[in-house]
Amino acid sequence: PRVGRIEVPIVREEERIYDALRGREVDMLPISLPEDIADELGESSSINVARGPSYTGTALLLNLSRPPFDSPAVRTAVARSLDLGRVLRNTGPGVPADRGNLHPDSRWAPREILQREDVSAARRTLAGLGLPPIRVLAPSNDGVRLEAGRQVVLALRRAGAKASFGKLPRGELGDAIGENGATPDFDAAIVSTPALASYDPNFLARQFGSDDATAPLNYSGYRSAAFDALADRVVTAPDPEARERAAAAELRLLATDLPMIPLFFSEAALAYRPSVYDGWIFIKGSGILDKRSFLPNNQARAQAGVAAPEGDGDSGTVAGTIRSAALGVLAIAVALALVGMLTLLRARARG
């Protein structure tokens, strides 16, 4: 590898992580930047911003274990109230998640549109139910997902529902949705969805399967024997075509049952200091913090399917240590999973 070590200090507040890059405390940010911050940092002569599609998504998680979202009619009405294009326009560049839980560029994504707005139908349904106010939670340290939460609340109000918005620190939001064995206490929450599902649809079973032991990411309380059967078909499919059909059937069922409403996939904007290391390669779906960024340039570009510029050999910088800040513990886990080739990864907690 062309990098000996990556140090990953944990920075809890969103604004502090950007200040750390501005102040040269860190050398790259493995999390995607909001559009205004990306534009600002990109204007600096000492910072580059790499952009491309990210398979990490944003979704509205629903709590099916209690009213009002134990009702399929309410879940459907909420989904119909959402104009995904409008939500996306207010949160930044990306693509709407109208084909379900997988990024449209995933080879396993269906061709059909699964999520369509119908505010009139939503208003008719919601008007007849007399629902109590719906509280939508979002992480306070994530500007993109905060805005997504605001847009969901506005859409619900336009459809005639009573809705309120709450922002919580990431740890408190995790407790509210039931992470780490906590008792869930929420109506709806804006969450990030893992990129792995777009690479391998078998991962959907870990989010929506009925068995707690094999579905540790099922925070909605969704239980469906039909989904479990389709998930088994994905695993046992004899060829890629059969797997595509099984995955498409899974996504159609999820779009009907709606334990979660996928909203959008943001374009990733990842900032780094080229003076420290300029060998970063953007890998479609996962970004620059990938093992191929640390191989000799031509070898890495060939593996990534990226053409080398004319005259580009293996002359890029070789770094001893890169300081890569992460926003919260979840980002650290993602970073660790992606960088398997590094000889040492040392996490330093920073209060």
Calpha distance 105→268 (Å, rounded): 14
pLDDT at 122: 96
Higher pLDDT, 36 or 110: 110
Residue 110 predicted with pLDDT over 90: yes
Tell me the average pLDDT across 200-213. Answer: 96
Calpha distance 326→343 (Å, rounded): 19
Which letter does DSSP use for residue 117 in this model? Answer: -
Instruction: Return the minimum-mean-pLDDT range out of 93-107, 155-169, 205-219, 274-288.
Output: 274-288
- Strands of 94-96's sheet in order across: 94-96, 260-272, 48-62, 188-193, 134-139, 163-168
pLDDT at 2: 65
Instruction: Return the minimum-mean-pLDDT range out of 12-16, 200-204, 292-296, 325-329.
Output: 325-329
- CATH 3.10.105.10 domain residues, the chain: 55-200+258-265
- Nearest residue to 231 (alpha-carbon basis) of 246, 215, 214: 246
Quick one: pLDDT band at residue 341, thresholds 50, 70, 90?
very low
Q: For the chain, what percent of residues have pLDDT higher than 70?
A: 82
Tell me the average pLDDT across 189-199. Answer: 95
* CATH 3.10.105.10 given to domain 55-200+258-265: yes
Tell me the average pLDDT across 323-342. Answer: 43
Q: For the chain, what percent of residues have pLDDT higher than 90?
A: 62
Quick one: pLDDT band at residue 311, thresholds 50, 70, 90?
very low
Higher pLDDT, 235 or 6: 235
Residue 337 predicted with pLDDT over 50: no
Query: What pTM was computed for the model?
Result: 0.82
Quick one: pLDDT band at residue 335, thresholds 50, 70, 90?
very low
Query: Is the distance from CB of 340 to CB of 291 less than 8 angstroms?
Result: yes
Query: Is the distance from CB of 229 to CB of 58 less than 8 angstroms?
Result: no
Strand 3-11 relative to strand 326-327, pairing: parallel
Tell me the average pLDDT across 107-115. Answer: 95
What three-state secondary structure class fits 67? coil
Residue 224 predicted with pLDDT over 60: yes
Tell me the average pLDDT across 129-141. Answer: 93
Quick one: pLDDT band at residue 306, thresholds 50, 70, 90?
low
Residue 303 falls in which region: left (phi positive, over 0), alpha (psi -120 to 50) or beta: alpha
What is the overall mean pLDDT for the chain?
Answer: 85
Lookup result for tokens 């336009």: 158
